Amino acid sequence: MIPHALAAALLLGLAAAAQDTRPADLREEVQRANEHRRLQIRLAAAARLSQAGDAAVPAIHEYQQAKGGDAITLGLVEAMARSEPKGEATLGLLAGWAREPAFFWRAQALAGLAAARRDEYRALFTAALRDPAHLFRLHGARGLWLLRRPSDREPVLALLRDEDPRLRVQLAAFLLDEGELSGVPLLLGALADTREFLGDPWGRREAGIAFQALRRFAGQDFGYVAGREPAANAAAIEAFRAFARARLGDAVPADLPPAPRDPVTAGGIEIRSCRHGDWFLRWNDLGELFVGLESRRGVPMDVGAWRALEERRGKLTGAAEQLHGTVVCDYLRVHAAAPALHRRCAPGHLPGDLAAWLDELAAALATQGEDALAQGLRTRLTQFR
């Protein structure tokens, strides 16, 4: 038999060894979650860190200090945001990410704080309603709503009139799931949205979100098929409208307005920025500019100024997409049909020739009296130089 004293010593040694190896194991999981070449393994590692909860936080902090915030993956942030229950260390990690303006996934971190329903983050949620990034505004609104303070109701509902249609639809869907019906007409209008921006089918994505929320609301799908052309879904859309009108009365229109359409354009600029907010601009062959994702506002350019800009842009040709740097989240993209041009740039990788043309465009906008639009472009360009 092993003497009692020796057995006790062995047990203490094994316990100490377990304590020594656990942080190392967590450090390996953090590395896998952020660096493994296979997405499935990254996500599995992130899930295990989420299950570890507060115990994983020191290893995540250590990795971030060594590698920088840009090395943290979306999968890890979303996993920690979904972790339940959230301990104080996990909440602190999410709050730190959410408060860092340059962090790519700060909106997803804020979503985790919103789900925690902690009143101590109310000031952060309130400030988020004015953030330039639409997802940050969305999750700030979710956080306020879930705190159930009557005084926060109107500031949240005001975002149903936000300039970004993605935010309007996603907030309306969230509110409907929470029993708030104010956004139902907005969701009905989104069901037939097929709009795109430089080939990105953002309207169909929002239509899918609207459909899922309305399906949960109605308890049936009425034959609607996500991704199908609006004409093929017309009967289902009308059935959703009739169901909603029976519940909400005149708050739902007797006839839905025609589905919005994109203007005919020849090129445009798309800037995705978690820091400064997304920025969208398109133009047609006549030099009329269309502002925003929905292109609701047109800006007629001076003919001479536009011809000079187009002549200089014609020197930036290249039909195949050219990538400048490695895009993780934020990017700047310029796409035009004739002369063909398609460039996508990661932060810090804007080539000089394209930067010069964008600077000229900003100056031309300012000359036209579009100072806010020009400043919006200049502000976002700082991230990509």
Does 246 map to a domain? no
Alpha helices in the chain (DSSP H): 4-35, 39-52, 57-67, 74-82, 88-98, 106-116, 122-128, 134-147, 153-158, 165-177, 184-190, 202-218, 234-248, 303-313, 352-367, 371-384
CA 349 to chain centre: 21
**Would you state the pLDDT for residue 18?**
35
**Would you state the pLDDT for residue 288?**
94
Q: From residue 165, how far is each of 38, 152, 205, 356 by CA, in Å?
A: 34, 21, 11, 31
- Residue with more model confidence, 24 or 273: 273
Query: Side chain identity at 150, as an amino acid letter?
Result: P
Length of the chain: 385
Preceding omega of 165 cis (within 30 degrees of 0): no
pLDDT in tens, 139-170: 999 999 999 999 999 999 999 999 999 999 99
Taking the whole predicted model, whether its pTM rises above 0.95 is answered as no
Does 160 map to a domain? no
Query: Three-state SS string across 156-196, please?
Result: HHHHHHCCCHHHHHHHHHHHHHCCCCCCHHHHHHHCCCCCC
**Average confidence score pLDDT of the chain:** 92
Q: What is the mean pLDDT of residues 200-225?
A: 98
**Whether pLDDT at 110 is above 50:** yes
Ordered strands of the 318-324 beta sheet: 297-300, 288-291, 279-283, 267-272, 331-336, 341-345, 318-324
Domain boundary among 82, 111, 140: 111
CB atoms under 10 Å from CB of 41, counted, come to 13
Does 295 map to a domain? yes
**Would you state the pLDDT for residue 23?**
65
**Would you state the pLDDT for residue 44?**
96
Does 66 map to a domain? yes
What is the 8-class DSSP label of residue 12? H
Domain boundary among 111, 130, 161: 111
Helix, strand, or coil (residue 74): helix
Does 223 map to a domain? no
**Would you state the pLDDT for residue 22?**
58
**Would you state the pLDDT for residue 321?**
85
Q: From residue 357, how far is each of 103, 166, 270 by CA, in Å?
A: 28, 29, 15
**Would you state the pLDDT for residue 339?**
86
Distance CA 344, CA 347 (A): 10
**Whether pLDDT at 233 is above 60:** yes
Q: Which domain holds residue 87?
A: 20-111
Alpha helices in 178-280 (DSSP H): 184-190, 202-218, 234-248
**Would you state the pLDDT for residue 92?**
98
CB atoms under 10 Å from CB of 326, counted, come to 10
Does 378 map to a domain? yes
Domain boundary among 68, 93, 111: 111
**Whether pLDDT at 11 is above 80:** no
**Whether pLDDT at 56 is above 80:** yes
**Whether pLDDT at 2 is above 80:** no
**Whether pLDDT at 125 is above 50:** yes
Range with the poorest average pLDDT among 89-98, 239-248, 253-262: 253-262
Sign of the CA dihedral running 77, 81, 84, 86: positive
**Whether pLDDT at 20 is above 50:** no
Does 247 map to a domain? no
4-35 and 57-67 are packed helices; what angle lies between their axes, rounded to 10 degrees?
A: 50
What is the 8-class DSSP label of residue 150? G
**Whether pLDDT at 193 is above 90:** yes
Sign of the CA dihedral running 171, 173, 176, 177: negative
Range with the poorest average pLDDT among 42-46, 127-131, 229-233, 283-287: 283-287
When divided into structural domains, the chain yields a total of 2
**Whether pLDDT at 10 is above 90:** no
Does 93 map to a domain? yes
Q: What is the mean pLDDT of residues 121-149?
A: 98
**Whether pLDDT at 373 is above 90:** yes
Q: From residue 132, how far is each of 139, 262, 278 by CA, in Å?
A: 13, 24, 8
**Would you state the pLDDT for residue 380?**
96
